[in-house]
Amino acid sequence: MTMIEVLVALAISVIVIGASTQFFVLSNGSALSGRRQVSALALAQSQIEKVRQQVKQYGFGTLGMSSVPAKAGADTDTSNPTDFENTAATTWEVQENYDAPGIPLLTEPLITGGTITPIQTITGSDGVVAKVYTFVSQATDICQVGLPASVCTAAGVTTASNMDVRRVVVAVVLNAPTGQTQNGGPNKPQYLTTLITNPVPSAQINNVTGLRIGLNVS
Amino acid sequence: MSPGEMRMDLSTSVARLRGRAADESGFVMVIALVVMVVALAFATAALTGTLASRSSATRDLRSQRALQAADAGIEDGIYRFNQVNVSTLNFTGGLLGGALSNITDCVIPQVNINGVITAFTLQAAVGVTNGVCKLPSDSGVSGAIGDTIQVGDHGFYEMQQVNGATTTGPNIVLHPKVVAVGVDDGGNSTTCTSTVPSATTANTSGCVVRRVMATLAPIDPFQLAEAGGALTLNGVAIVATGDMRANGDLKIPGTCVVVLVQVCTAAITGTNALNLSGLTANVTYGGSFSHAGVFVPLLETFTPQPAAVNRTAVTVDDTGCPSACVTPSLPSGVTAASLGGKNGAATAYDPTTNTVTLKSQALTFAPGDYILCNFNATGGSVSTNIASTSSTPVRIFIDGPTSSRCSSNGLGAAQGNFNSSVGVSNLVGGVIGLTGSSQLQIYVVGNGSTGAGGATVTIGGGLTESMFLYAPTSEVSVTGLAFEGNAIGYDVTLNAPTLLENLAVNNYSLANAVGVFHVAHYTECTPVYPLPQPDPTSGC
């Protein structure tokens, strides 16, 4: 064993350890990002379930935002969900892909006067802190989006003005991880969206047939 | 080369090889290379695993998007089912109203060829068995909705309604279904089009698919008497005009003849309104059925119930409500003094405890909502003052002892009850049916217990009682010359020879926040897009 061999071996070891370290750093960062993505998803799911529960408990009329946060940036800025509002913060752009926004699929009026807090700071069960945005917009009547007219007219409600279909968009923006130096993604808001309809269609001639027992007396 | 030289050369070569073999120089390099390979393998494995985990997280997100889209489809379907012209649900009328138009037990929605309810025609008014109204026929046609609806955020859904009418013995049970498939197209809407073969499953062609099905149930109409526990009917000859049910035992301890008639309307079908053919009322029970002495059932059926039915306890809670949800203890414009005398005091109503205690004088309820912690009348008289045409009923809510309203009034567990040994007069001139039993609605929250430890609702006296009584966790006992209305309790005892179902449900509901159908069962199906045909429920 010569000095040259030892030196070469040491050099190889350094290279290997360096490369491996990079791999592990990458792996660790990716794992952290994955965990945070799961956390963001859990928060988004939880928020949608809360909204559903609220509708069940307090009625469809409460399904609206208590206020609308101001638009924060440009339409192309995907880091802040409020950017999909218009300047007056009265409408919402429904995007096919919120990460890479293009021409909106639809532009819908935001619904206020409800009890949904639009921005909440929530700490997940795993300690991840996030801002949870909840937007409620008046969806275009589902009858006007391609369903057979015979079905819609048979049901009796076809207008978009009844506000019976509301789109709920939840966006979760995670705070930067504390005490971490590596990539703490996801860096973009995580979105979940669904539609919630009025249990008692407003076009009913008499909509007081509900047999809701256990509801708050109002 | 001579043979000797050749041998020497061979020996030299062997010796050289042996020498090289014996030489250990360079082994460090080999070890280093091995270490490098092993370390890189470990690192690669770790990174691969992490990336797979990351991919799984992304897939979870897409899967959730697909599920939310599918749930949006379910909402869509329910909405369409509930888009019914409820004006056909004419609960008004009544015995003296001249029109036995509709009755709570026999309201059956009709489904058209698209699986959409178009009306509540009462063709079903041919009787009730096991709490399920009959349908005269079943079109058996599934819905035909196949277009996709964009939800946004990579998601869309396809929904289909299914009639869901199935035959159970002589009856047809209507449980419509909504099936919806949600798809996350991964940001490329062209990869998940309707041209994708029906065998496409999750994650094929870059799509993530979730399919769900909701089985719906129509509103469960209130029956004449409902008991979460035991139902006891006392009387020598009992005539009842509606269905009754008990999750527990059914007891008819007296020596009696029992006549129960389901007074479904037949006017819709153009036949005699009092044609009793097929109009047999039903009494179902989950426990045992006992009776004493001579028991002669006439027109009724007594059958075990297929499944227990539990009503939800009413909640009187104004916390967390919208701003408009403030509930005064007394209706606006009603003063405590107007509620009559309390043992010579100014009022029967005690605002410090939010209770009514009556031992003498007259107490009269005007239309409106009264939220109390306890009601106890042992003397005097209790009545309502409602015009027969009033659209506002008297609603009395008895909140629970542990509620924020009642927990600090010092009464502890000695509250939460509605007891009136002098009965509650809710009639106009003593004539039943004029006011309508639903004009007096009594709701009892209960104390959290059922059975012997539950809150009590005891209404006695020699009156004809007419009310809608909803106390599903309470011990309910009503004694009178007759009872008209609905009595919902845990253990229910009716001491009256004549029991009349509520035919005048003028003010049926507490709120308008629930539709005709609600989700009775929700399940996830195998992920298939588009929805399989002809049966979209296959795989659910």
Mean pLDDT by 10 residues, chain B (540 residues): 66 70 68 73 71 72 90 85 49 26 39 45 34 32 48 82 56 68 74 44 64 80 85 83 86 74 38 37 86 72 74 60 39 52 58 84 79 89 77 80 87 96 80 65 90 94 85 94 89 90 44 60 88 84
* Closest CA of chain B from A58, distance in Å: 7
HSE toward the beta carbon, residue B370, CA cutoff 13 A = 29
* Residue with tokens 């270490």, as numbered in its chain: B35
To probe the interface with A, which of B321, B323, B396, B399 has the most A CB atoms within 10 Å? B321
What is the bridge-based pairing of β-strands A119-123 and A129-138?
antiparallel
- Report the pLDDT value the prediction gives residue B199, as an integer from 0 to 100: 37
B338 touches chain A (CB under 8 A): no
- Report the pLDDT value the prediction gives residue B37, as an integer from 0 to 100: 77
The contacts of residue A38 (CB under 8 Å, 6+ apart) are B57, B60
Instruction: Count chain A–chain B contacts defined by CB atoms under 8 A.
Output: 284
B155 touches chain A (CB under 8 A): yes
The alpha carbon of B42 is separated from its chain's Cα centroid by a whole number of angstroms, namely 55
* Closest CA of chain A from B51, distance in Å: 7
Distance CA B212, CA B159 (A): 10
- B-chain CB neighbours of A96 within 8 Å are 150, 152-154, 187, 189
Q: Which of B535, B517, B521 is nearest to B212 (CA)?
A: B521
3-state secondary structure of B494: strand
Average pLDDT over residues A27-49: 84
The alpha carbon of B377 is separated from its chain's Cα centroid by a whole number of angstroms, namely 34
- A-chain CB neighbours of B76 within 8 Å are 142, 165, 195, 197
Residues in chain A, total: 218
To probe the interface with B, which of A47, A117, A197 has the most B CB atoms within 10 Å? A197
- B-chain CB neighbours of A165 within 8 Å are 75-76, 79
Distance CA B115, CA B195 (A): 25
The alpha carbon of A131 is separated from its chain's Cα centroid by a whole number of angstroms, namely 10
Distance CA B318, CA B329 (A): 11
Are the Cβ atoms of A217 and B318 closer than 8 angstroms?
Answer: yes
The contacts of residue B473 (CB under 8 Å, 6+ apart) are B228, B313, B444, B446, B447, B448, B449, B450, B454, B455, B489, B490
List Cα–Cα distances, B507 to B221, B422, B467, in angstroms. 14, 25, 11
B114 touches chain A (CB under 8 A): yes
* Closest chain B residue to A14, measured at CA: B36
- A-chain CB neighbours of B25 within 8 Å are 1-2, 5
Q: Which of B129, B468, B125 is nearest to B274 (CA)?
A: B125
The contacts of residue B119 (CB under 8 Å, 6+ apart) are B84, B85, B88, B109, B110
The alpha carbon of B292 is separated from its chain's Cα centroid by a whole number of angstroms, namely 36
Are the Cβ atoms of A38 and B116 closer than 8 angstroms?
Answer: no
Q: Which of B335, B329, B307, B78 is nearest to B212 (CA)?
A: B78
Q: B408: how many CB neighbours lie within 10 A of its CB? A: 9
The token pair at A26 is 């990458």
A-facing residues of B in 346-365 (CB < 8 A) are: none
Are the Cβ atoms of B150 and A105 closer than 8 angstroms?
Answer: yes
A87 touches chain B (CB under 8 A): no
**Element containing residue A195 per DSSP (H, E):** strand A190-197
Query: A47 pLDDT band (50/70/90 cuts)?
Result: very high
B14 touches chain A (CB under 8 A): no
List Cα–Cα distances, B158 to B76, B327, B426, in angstroms. 10, 43, 52
Distance CA B88, CA B124 (A): 14
Q: Which among B32, B56, B221 is the nearest to A9, CB-wise?
A: B32
B33 touches chain A (CB under 8 A): yes
Are the Cβ atoms of B317 and A199 closer than 8 angstroms?
Answer: no
This model of the complex carries an ipTM of 0.81
Per DSSP, B181 falls in state: E
B189 touches chain A (CB under 8 A): yes
* Closest CA of chain B from A98, distance in Å: 6
Average pLDDT over residues A100-110: 85
Judge whether A90 and A141 are in contact, CB under 8 Å.
Answer: no
B5 touches chain A (CB under 8 A): no
**Element containing residue B246 per DSSP (H, E):** strand B244-246
Q: For residues A161 and B325, which has the higher predicted lDDT (pLDDT)?
A: A161
The contacts of residue B108 (CB under 8 Å, 6+ apart) are B120, B121, B122, B123, B124, B133, B135, B174, B218
Are the Cβ atoms of B53 and A20 closer than 8 angstroms?
Answer: no
Q: Which of A200, A204, A212 is nearest to B222 (CA)?
A: A212
- B-chain CB neighbours of A170 within 8 Å are none
- A-chain CB neighbours of B219 within 8 Å are 209, 211
What is the bridge-based pairing of β-strands B418-420 and B282-285?
unpaired
Tens-digit pLDDT profile for residues A115-134: 999 999 998 877 888 999 99
A14 touches chain B (CB under 8 A): no
Judge whether A119 and A130 are in contact, CB under 8 Å.
Answer: no
B34 burial via Cβ count (<10 Å: 0-12, 13-18, 19+): exposed
The alpha carbon of B1 is separated from its chain's Cα centroid by a whole number of angstroms, namely 108
Q: Which among B29, B65, B513 is the nearest to A60, CB-wise?
A: B513
Q: Which among B39, B53, B322 is the nearest to A16, CB-wise?
A: B39
DSSP string, A70-125: PP-S-TT-TT-GGGGB-TTS-EEEE-S-TTS--S-SEEEEBPBSSSB-SEEEEE-T
Cis peptide bond upstream of B530, omega within 30: yes
Rg over CA atoms, chain B: 36
A-facing residues of B in 91-110 (CB < 8 A) are: 91
Distance CA B49, CA A30 (A): 10
DSSP string, B333-365: T--GGGG--BTTBS-SEETTTTEEEESSSEEEE
A-facing residues of B in 60-79 (CB < 8 A) are: 60-61, 64-65, 68-69, 71-72, 75-76, 78-79
Per DSSP, B430 falls in state: T
The contacts of residue B303 (CB under 8 Å, 6+ apart) are B129, B130, B282, B283, B284, B285
Q: At what angle do helices A3-58 and B27-82 cross, to 10 degrees?
A: 10
* Closest chain B residue to A100, measured at CA: B187
Distance CA A143, CA B474 (A): 45
Judge whether A197 and A59 are in contact, CB under 8 Å.
Answer: no
B320 touches chain A (CB under 8 A): yes
HSE toward the beta carbon, residue A115, CA cutoff 13 A = 18
Q: A25: how many CB neighbours lie within 10 A of its CB? A: 15
Q: A149: how many CB neighbours lie within 10 A of its CB? A: 11
A48 touches chain B (CB under 8 A): yes
Are the Cβ atoms of A155 and B31 closer than 8 angstroms?
Answer: no
Mean pLDDT of chain A: 76
3-state secondary structure of B237: strand
